[in-house]
């Protein structure tokens, strides 16, 4: 049978911080998306959308650097896209937090496992450019 | 229809989807893709991109509530995320090379499968498989509260669970869904983790898995802000409202109704895929 030492009590503290990170990230990005959305609809709400044909988004909305550039210029769609990026980054930040927390607990096996997950996530975001 | 009308109608529909999805535990993303594709004629790649982002939002939003209950196993989650995230990237690659018709048919089959599994209630298994020595060396075994008493549990068939998780990730990346059902199945059936632990741990993993495929979708230009905006805000608001109603609602009847809706959407997707209407 398992002894009481196998029950990971420390994870409870970890859990609470992770929950807080996820909720904050979700709320902040929702507010940014809402703000960008209102801006977009106020400026271009009367135009007709064309979503029936897939044409791929322009570079301004697929490159992290160009999205940030658009946000600085106050453009509506890049602001929404920035909020979406932040939303995608929220679970990534929780993996980064887990790497740090496992390191602090000296659980090096799980530092390595969390780092592997982090690498896969970073590869998906930055690993290949749109063709 | 202009952008304003599109945003309002899609936003309200997504709110309803998120509300029902969180009440029934089936997730809102599952109906968003067929809704956008069938009712609004949105290209399925854009629909999947928008759904993926909404899946991340609801997973992050409900994680805090799940974690407070103290059931999730962060080590099982992190270990299996290696499988789900690589699977998700693989699935996202598949999506970029699969014709719309084929995606529609696969999506329809997935909807039918989840409608069936959601109407059959899984029972807690009597553990009959031997404890996996891998579980001990990976420290996957844990404890969870049963009637306020911490009860230890052990994990079985780790490689099988890991393999199934790769499949769950692939489905998630290909179809833009959380595929929580496959995740729970892998943990319940294969690894024989207690039901409460597997459900909460799976919710936890869904956001990370979806983030992996969302990265590919974003850099490939599949995420359109004008579509993702009403979908994400709608599904998120709906699921947050749904979480508050959870205790009071008659979930059983709603599950059946929602399962029937999903099954119908599934048939419609398969039909549209074969006739080439999408």
How much is the pTM? 0.87
Q: Which of A22, A48, A113 sits opposite B82 (nearest CB)?
A: A113
* Domain range summary for chain A, segments of one domain joined by +: 16-42+62-126
Q: Which of A51-55, A66-70, B35-39, B90-94 has the lowest mean pLDDT?
A: A51-55
Nearest chain A alpha carbon to B89: A124
Burial of B235 per CB tally in 10 Å (0-12, 13-18, 19+)? buried
Contact A19, B64 (CB under 8 A): yes
Distance in angstroms (rounded) separating the CA atoms of residues B115 and B156: 28
A45 lies within 8 A of chain B by CB: yes
Question: Which residues of chain A lie closer than 8 angstroms to B7, CB-CB?
Answer: 37, 41, 45
Sign for the CA dihedral angle at B67, B70, B72, B74 comes to positive
Output the pLDDT for position A3: 38
**Percentage, residues of chain A above pLDDT 90:** 45
pLDDT at A5: 39
Closest to B214 (Cβ–Cβ): which among A2, A33, A88? A88
CA distance A12 to B202: 17
Mean per-residue pLDDT over chain B, rounded: 86
CA dihedral angle for residue B202, residue B207, residue B212, residue B215, rounded to 10 degrees: 160
Contact B144, B67 (CB under 8 A): no
Closest Cβ–Cβ partner in A49, A57, A114 for B221:
A57
Q: How far is CA B153 from the centre of its chain?
A: 25
Q: Phi, psi (5° rounding) for residue B53?
A: -65, -40
Reported as a single tens digit per residue, the pLDDT across B92-129 is 999 888 888 999 999 999 889 888 877 776 565 566 67
Q: Which regions of chain B are under pLDDT 50?
A: none
Share in percent of chain B as helix, strand, coil (round to 5): 75, 5, 20
- What is the reported pLDDT for B195? 80
Tokens of A59: 């570079």
* Whether pLDDT at A77 is above 90: yes
């Amino acid at each position: 049978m398992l002894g009481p030492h196998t029950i990971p009590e420390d994870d409870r503290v970890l859990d609470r911080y992770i929950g807080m990170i996820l909720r904050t990230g979700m709320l902040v990005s929702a507010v940014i998306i809402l703000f960008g959305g209102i801006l977009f609809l106020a400026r271009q709400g009367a135009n007709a959308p064309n979503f029936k044909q897939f044409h791929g988004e322009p570079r301004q909305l697929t490159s992290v650097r160009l999205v940030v550039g658009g946000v600085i210029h106050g453009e509506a769609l890049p602001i929404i896209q920035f909020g979406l990026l932040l939303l995608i980054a929220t679970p990534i930040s929780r993996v980064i937090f887990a790497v740090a927390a496992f390191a602090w607990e000296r659980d090096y096996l799980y530092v390595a496992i969390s780092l592997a997950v982090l690498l896969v996530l970073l590869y998906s975001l930055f690993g290949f450019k749109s063709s | 229809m202009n952008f304003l009308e599109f945003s309002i109608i899609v936003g309200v529909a997504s709110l309803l989807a998120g509300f029902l999805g969180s009440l029934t535990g089936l997730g809102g993303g599952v109906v968003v893709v067929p809704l956008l594709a069938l009712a609004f004629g949105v290209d399925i790649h854009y629909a999947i991109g928008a759904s993926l982002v909404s899946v991340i939002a609801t997973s992050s939003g409900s994680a805090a509530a799940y974690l407070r209950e103290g059931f999730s196993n962060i080590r099982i989650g992190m270990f299996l995320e290696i499988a789900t995230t690589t699977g998700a990237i693989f699935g996202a690659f598949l999506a970029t090379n699969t014709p719309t018709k084929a995606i529609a048919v696969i999506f329809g089959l997935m909807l039918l499968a989840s409608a069936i599994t959601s109407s059959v209630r899984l029972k807690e298994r009597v553990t009959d498989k031997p404890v996996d020595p891998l579980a001990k060396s990976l420290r996957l075994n844990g404890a969870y509260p049963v009637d306020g008493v911490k009860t230890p549990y052990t994990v079985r068939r780790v490689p099988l669970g890991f393999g199934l998780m790769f499949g769950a990730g692939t489905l998630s990346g290909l179809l833009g869904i959380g595929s929580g059902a496959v995740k729970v199945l892998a943990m319940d059936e294969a690894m024989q983790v207690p039901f409460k632990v597997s459900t909460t741990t799976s919710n936890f993993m869904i956001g990370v898995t979806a983030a992996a495929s969302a990265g590919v979708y974003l850099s490939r230009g599949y995420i359109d802000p004008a579509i993702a905006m009403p979908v994400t805000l709608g599904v998120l608001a709906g699921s947050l409202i749904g979480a508050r109603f959870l205790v009071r609602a008659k979930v059983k009847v709603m599950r059946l109704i929602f399962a029937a809706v999903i099954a119908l959407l599934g048939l419609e997707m398969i039909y549209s895929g074969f006739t080439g209407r999408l």
